[in-house]
Chains A and B, each alone.
Chain A
Amino acid sequence: MQHKNKKQISVEKENKNSQLPDCPSGARGEWPLWEVFIRSKQGMDHKHAGSLHAADAQMAIENARDVYTRRMEGISIWVVESKYIHASDPAEGSSLYDPANDKIYRHPTFYHLPDELKNM
């Protein structure tokens, strides 16, 4: 019974959305999504900070500055349109990464270090 009601609600929501009037020009849906990477003062690499919508690269950088560096989080900003980021498929994880687990000869662990170099 409960399951049925849930289904009904989600269908109602869908119908409501399709009846929305056309958004005026500049609607959110038209601005591309950008991924933001920030490097902190002490850091060496840009870390992913989040994403935002912007009309162009200039605006994306300014928006990133306004949204993600308010508390001195960083001193360098990279922005990339999300569509240009290609990611591996998590479902393929086992075929991509598991085989490396049992290939111990790829790690430099068989060298015998003399005592003098113990701290290397």
Chain B
Amino acid sequence: MKKKPGPHISKTSKKEKQDFLENYTLHMADDALILGHRNSEWTGHGPILEQDIAISNIALDLIGQARNFYQYAADIINKKRDGKKKIDEDILAYHRDVWDFKNCLLAEQPNGDWARTILRQFFFSLYQFYLYEQLQYSKDSTIAAISEKAIREVSYHVKWSGEWVIRLGDGTEESHQRMLNAMDDLVKFTGELFREVNYEQEAFNKKTGANLSELKPKWEQKVNIILKEATLPILADRKWDLYGGKEGKHTEHLGYILAEMQFLQRAYPGCEW
């Protein structure tokens, strides 16, 4: 993916301006759902009982956040669709295809070993923490309410994952090496978190969304504090990041995730139990 010089923001079209709230909400919903799903893949396979429960709890928290955002997105979309069939959260989660999903690439990366999983969680949860911290004051009252509830859950995720980064980083030779490998794999996906796309810029202009350029230095500072304590290399200026997820351009992993996650609803649409 070619990186354009300067801020990557193409001119926002009229339609994009109209649809910004729907896209912004779906982006946060997709982030939470895909990462929640990835974490749920550990259920029954955790390295030790208590951590199996911990990561499953985190997955549940994330899926809960996703539901809140999907319900809101469904409301927004339904208001525009007079006459057409109403959609709900399940349609949004289970009937959209890869190119419609707006989650960050970081969320869809494979679990790998425990080191990769907890590092991914730490990078992402810290981002969510600062994001929700700002969104509590969003002009959109629904987004503010969801963020206020979510930030309590995310505070715990940050604590839990940060402590694991330190334990594994400053642990044995093996755990330290696994953390280095995890960093090699995942750091290149962290840039996207703060790379504003059109609907995010529009959301910010309408005092609904967060200011990503304000989040970035806070996030980097805290990450480096933890990395330092974990005797891991701190983040340096990178000239190259992978991005595209927020605009529906995904790595091949998302296809496999959706194939598994959506199979039941697609094979038996509208099924209940």
Contacts and interface: CB of A to CB of B under 8 A. Distances in A.
Contact of B50 (A26, A58, A66): A66
B265 interface: no
Interface in A25-76: 25-26, 28, 31, 52-55, 58-59, 62-63, 66-67, 70
A63 B57 contact: no
Contacts, number: 36
Contacts of A26: 47, 172, 175
A66 B54 contact: yes
Given A62-B160, A70-B57, A54 B50 contact: yes
B172 A25 contact: yes
B180 to A, nearest CB: 16
B167 A55 contact: yes
Contacts of B48: 28, 31, 53
A54 B53 CA distance: 13
Contact of B57 (A28, A31, A53, A66): A66
B103 to A, nearest CB: 25
Nearest to B57: A66
Interface residues of A, number: 16
Given A25-B174, A53-B48, A67 B53 contact: yes
Contacts of B148: none
A92 to B, nearest CB: 34
Contacts of A52: 49-50
Nearest to B50: A63
Interface size class of B (residues with CB under 8 A): 10 to 19
A74 B54 CA distance: 17
B97 to A, nearest CB: 35
A66 B174 contact: no
B139 interface: no
Interface string B54-83: 100100000000000000000000000000
Nearest to A63: B50
Interface of B: 47-51, 53-54, 57, 159-160, 163, 167, 172, 174-175
Given A53-B50, A70-B57, 12 more contacts: A26-B172, A26-B175, A31-B48, A53-B49, A59-B163, A62-B54, A63-B50, A63-B51, A66-B53, A66-B54, A66-B57, A70-B53
Interface of A: 24-26, 28, 31, 52-55, 58-59, 62-63, 66-67, 70
